[in-house]
Structure 1
Amino acid sequence: MLPVLAVLAAVLPGTPALAAPTVPTGARSLESVNYPGRYMRQGQLDPVSASSDAQTKADATFTVVNGLASPACYSLQTKSGLFLRHRDFRLRVDANTGDPMFRADATFCPVDGSVAGSVAFTSYNYPSRRIRHRDFALWLDPFQDTAAFKADSSFRVTAPWTPKTNKGPVIPGLFADPHLTVFNGRYYLYPTTDGYAGWSSPYYKAFSSTDLVNWTDHGVILDLGPDVAWADNSAWAPAVATRNGRYHLYFSGGAATGAKQLGVAVADTPTGPFRDALGRPLVRGDQFSGGQAIDPMVFTDTDGQSYLYWGQGVARAVRLNADMTSFDPAQVRVVTPAGYNEGSFVFKRNGTYYLMWSENDTRSEDYRVAYATGPSPLGPWTNRGVVLQKRLDAGIKGTGHHSVVQAPGTDTWYIAYHRFAVPAGNGTNRETTIDPLAFNADGTIRPVVVSL
């Protein structure tokens, strides 16, 4: 990852190192400093007021999200799911293709604006250029150390003209494969960073909450390139478990050549930073025949024994040793249920064990979650059918790769999962949401009522 803030400090006069302002994520509008009442509206600066029509207000509303090219910066997503990006130094909105050029073109890094409380945006891939209006059109222009240029390139971040009305996604931006868990009475969410062509994201972030509504972004907790010697991309579907006061992050990783592999990293807190515990894969890509070594998940039973599950195409399970970083390969079991594709998840309720998984391909709108029950963490398993699937009347597609959590001290349960980003998402532009998980009197799971 480029040291973006250091680059900005070097090229922008008067910008101290690591002093970039933060911008609140979520729905926001951006008002011109020197033309109050005019707002950034797709690729131009237009008047917007209480009497403006609904479309104008919607066009002047962006969701500030995790930078597509760097978590140190931001991207601006429209209500229609497009992203503000520059092309030939002209600002416009386009669908995210996920390739490196688009991600860089759609990522902007904040610096102080011309007046207190305002912000200017430099280009991630052209850090000497800022978003600036000329004749009310938005351009990416070389920085000029003049009062006029600074005013033309400064914006106030305001309340959105079109407020958010639906509850999801729970964290703004493109994130998938969420692992939701509880440590010390607080919820922690560990997702895949999405929006990359080929799912090639190199890093993981962590979020935490006390109420599953308001989330704190704890930043990058593991970056495969600098932090892991054997992988630098495909940071997929993490899971975190704790033992003896230490936290273990199980992750997928890839390199330019070779199969995907599983690793484990350790930290002293749930938010890291994590370090590679072994300096090598926990599960090699060629270690077992059949399926991919991805999608790790760890379940710890009430007796303290932990189990590792993983696999795409073939589901595997094994008891972990007490160190949480090793196992006996001879004890690995294949536990593939009918319909299984990936995303194993196991939990226990009232003495019954539940094995859940995702069916179909994550690029399909029919991506969904099914489950089975059994008497032990290793089965045998009785298939119970599909419990989470698309809801086309609400525009919800591709619901899958989930995790389940129990609210501390209660019999209240929740399911976190991803879906195609609403309204313009697809299999690499996904978002994370959470819904209640309910049970029938016999312990079977009721179909999840997916909601916006």
Structure 2
Amino acid sequence: MLLRLLAAIALILPLPANPVMDGADPHALVSGRDYWMYPTEARSRRPIFAAYRSTDLRTWKREGTILDLDKVPWVKADGAPWHGAWAPGMTEKGGKFYFYYSVGPQDPTPSRIGVAVGDSPTGPFTDSGKPLLTGGNGFEAIDPMVFVDPADDRAWFYAGGSAGATLRVFEMNPDMVSFKREVTVKQPEKFTEGAFMHRRGKIYYLSYSHGKWNDSSYSVHYATASSPEGPWHYRGCVLESDAKHQGPGHHSFVENPSTKEWFIVYHRWETAKKEGPFRGGRKIAVEKVDYDDKGLIKTIRMTDGKSPVSPVRR
């Protein structure tokens, strides 16, 4: 009775609307009774990452910095005059939290991916002490995502994209900070960057961004497979620019474990202008995701006003 009353109150209270916050490249997950999100920080002058917490996908509270690249010794070993903190991903396994993150620049020194380990969604996080993956030879080591398969508890690492537009896939060792093996995969159709993996039923969904990050071509596409290794069957574009918002992408999918509803958390540019390059801050938004009777993702429409409300009740 109390839960129904709280849900009814949530529907009538004035709540934040889409977009829900400033930022880009949001990785969202559920841990405990809360949603957690790890974005590329909006307009930060330091190479840092932070955690954001929400009970309903609408209202997000910044819980503080979880990693400062100025305090990670190996980051400065490339001799670059500056470093960027981009596109992180978080994974929970065995009571530990593993934070994977991109380190720029991509030129003249290659991009790198690091990993840090903590005991909670807010850490404190301890870096592994060295890069997990370094770019080079046409491959850009960016946009890490690690998926723990509920079918067998194996962990799979996905990364790469941008100018190289190359996806690489690895099986992780049990320590979650090193690779067991690299998997040779056929490049997904229209893949550019920002890979994300989720599983619904027996279907594995590899979704990713296509196009240029700062113009209206940026969009979300996906492919399906019967395993996290592929082979992938391209299914098309599910989220693209419209009359009011441009360049939606670099997203994550998150499931409410109580209601079994799925949502996409993504960034976009709040402009009707179609010609890039866009400048200024990107915004993060949340939309509900629906599937058809074959398990395919229905076209996702961007919204303004009320974003989805889906409290986690375990």
**Cα distance per residue 1:205-260 (max 9 Å; x no partner):** 11011111222211111111123432562211100001221111000012585111
Report SS of the residue matched to 2:231.
coil
**Cα distance per residue 1:18-75 (max 9 Å; x no partner):** xxxxxxxxxxxxxxxxxxxxxxxxxxxxxxxxxxxxxxxxxxxxxxxxxxxxxxxxxx
1:184 to 29, 32, 35: 32
Cα contact 2:183–2:229 (8 A) shared by 1: no
Report SS of the residue matched to 2:251.
strand
Give the distance between the partners of 1:334 and 1:441, measured in 2 at CA. Answer: 28
Give the distance between the partners of 2:185 and 2:72, measured in 1 at CA. Answer: 31
2:133 to 276, 283, 288: 283
Q: Does 1:213 align with 2:58?
A: yes
Give the distance between the partners of 1:437 and 1:205, measured in 2 at CA. Answer: 26
Q: Does 1:362 align with 2:220?
A: no
Give the distance between the partners of 2:157 and 2:89, measured in 1 at CA. Answer: 10
Consecutive unaligned residues of structure 1, counting only runs of 5 or more, are: 1-163
Residue 342 of structure 1 corresponds to 193
Q: Does 1:306 align with 2:151?
A: no
**Cα distance per residue 1:301-345 (max 9 Å; x no partner):** 11111100000110111110100000135x343442111100000
Give the distance between the partners of 2:138 and 2:279, measured in 1 at CA. Answer: 24
Residue 324 of structure 1 corresponds to 176
Cα contact 1:401–1:417 (8 A) shared by 2: yes
Cα contact 1:239–1:296 (8 A) shared by 2: yes
1:265 to 112, 116, 127: 116
Residue 412 of structure 1 corresponds to 261
Cα contact 1:221–1:272 (8 A) shared by 2: yes
Using the TM superposition, give the Cα deviation of residue 430 of structure 1 relative to its aligned residue in structure 2, in angstroms.
0.5
Using the TM superposition, give the Cα deviation of residue 420 of structure 1 relative to its aligned residue in structure 2, in angstroms.
1.0
Using the TM superposition, give the Cα deviation of residue 422 of structure 1 relative to its aligned residue in structure 2, in angstroms.
5.2
1:237 to 77, 87, 93: 87
Using the TM superposition, give the Cα deviation of residue 426 of structure 1 relative to its aligned residue in structure 2, in angstroms.
2.8
Cα contact 2:185–2:230 (8 A) shared by 1: no
1:227 to 65, 72, 87: 72
Using the TM superposition, give the Cα deviation of residue 170 of structure 1 relative to its aligned residue in structure 2, in angstroms.
1.4
Please tell me the residue identity of whatever aligns with 1:177.
Answer: D
Please tell me the residue identity of whatever aligns with 1:414.
Answer: F
Cα contact 2:141–2:159 (8 A) shared by 1: yes
Deviates further, 218-227 or 230-239: 230-239
Using the TM superposition, give the Cα deviation of residue 449 of structure 1 relative to its aligned residue in structure 2, in angstroms.
1.3
Give the distance between the partners of 1:437 and 1:209, measured in 2 at CA. Answer: 18
**Cα distance per residue 1:366-396 (max 9 Å; x no partner):** 210000010100111100000001111xx21
Using the TM superposition, give the Cα deviation of residue 411 of structure 1 relative to its aligned residue in structure 2, in angstroms.
2.4
Please tell me the residue identity of whatever aligns with 2:92.
Answer: T
Within-5 A mapping of 1:97-246? 167-171=17-21, 173=22, 175-195=23-43, 202-231=47-76, 233-246=83-96
Report SS of the residue matched to 2:40.
strand
Q: Bigger relative contact order, structure 1 or 2, given CA contacts below 8 A and separation 6+?
A: 2
Cα contact 1:398–1:427 (8 A) shared by 2: no
Cα contact 1:306–1:320 (8 A) shared by 2: yes
Within-5 A mapping of 1:20-35? none
Q: Give RMSD over aligned pairs.
A: 2.2
Cα contact 1:195–1:428 (8 A) shared by 2: no
Please tell me the residue identity of whatever aligns with 1:406.
Answer: E
Give the distance between the partners of 2:73 and 2:280, measured in 1 at CA. Answer: 24
Q: Does 1:374 align with 2:225?
A: yes
1:435 to 280, 287, 298: 287
Q: Which has the higher Rg, Structure 1 or Structure 2?
A: 1
Give the distance between the partners of 1:236 and 1:257, measured in 2 at CA. Answer: 17
Count of equivalent residues: 278
Using the TM superposition, give the Cα deviation of residue 267 of structure 1 relative to its aligned residue in structure 2, in angstroms.
1.1
Call closer, same or farther: CA 1:207–1:450 in 2, change over 3 Å: same
Please tell me the residue identity of whatever aligns with 2:139.
Answer: G
Cα contact 1:316–1:335 (8 A) shared by 2: no
Give the distance between the partners of 1:267 and 1:188, measured in 2 at CA. Answer: 14
Please tell me the residue identity of whatever aligns with 1:412.
Answer: E
Consecutive unaligned residues of structure 2, counting only runs of 5 or more, are: 1-13, 77-81, 305-314
Cα contact 2:38–2:88 (8 A) shared by 1: yes
Using the TM superposition, give the Cα deviation of residue 165 of structure 1 relative to its aligned residue in structure 2, in angstroms.
8.9
Cα contact 1:353–1:376 (8 A) shared by 2: yes
- Normalising by structure 1, we get a TM-score of 0.58
Q: Does 1:274 align with 2:125?
A: yes
Call closer, same or farther: CA 1:428–1:253 in 2, change over 3 Å: farther
Using the TM superposition, give the Cα deviation of residue 284 of structure 1 relative to its aligned residue in structure 2, in angstroms.
1.5
